[in-house]
Structure formats: C-alpha cells, structure tokens
Amino acid sequence: MAKIEFLGPIGKPPVEVDIKNLDELKEIFSKDDDIKEWLKICAVAVNDTITKTLDMKINPNDKISLLPPVCGG
C-alpha cells in the first residue's frame, strides 16, 4: 500500500491506501471534508518528486506527500 503524508497545516496523520494512480487518490480524498479543500491548492509529490499528472502509476511502496502552499520571509 502507498503511504500518504499530509505536510504543514493539514494536520492529519499518515494513511496507507491501495491505489493504482493519483486519480484514484483524488477520488478517495474528494469524499473527505477535511482534505477535499486542500486538494485544490496542494502540490503533490511522489517519492519526493513533485508531479502534475494524475494518471501517474503508483506502486505499493510509494510515498505520496500533499504539500500545502507556504509563505515565508
């Protein structure tokens, strides 16, 4: 199962999901009221590499990170 981590202010513990691609993950999280708003603004990284495609194949040991936007100074 792929491990999903929620970084920054999302504030959720990691979860594991059995998915084939990021589109399946989006479908799962779109039903979660705490996460669906974050999906609109977060970047997504697979194994520490940011991706922009939802059809990317996900392997059982992949790490997926939801990266919310941050400000700094």
Give all domains of the chain, ordered by start, each with its CATH number.
2-67 (3.10.20.30)
The pTM (predicted TM-score) of the whole model is 0.88
pLDDT attached to residue 63: 98
Q: What single letter denotes the amino acid at residue 22?
A: L
- Give the pLDDT confidence score for residue 28 in this predicted structure: 94
Torsion region of 40: left, alpha or beta (phi above 0 gives left; psi -120 to 50 gives alpha): alpha
Closest CA to 2 of 66, 52, 53, 70: 66
**pLDDT tens string 18-35:** 999 999 999 999 999 889
Series of mean pLDDT values for 10-residue runs along the chain (73 residues): 94 95 94 90 95 93 94 56
Strand partners, 60: none
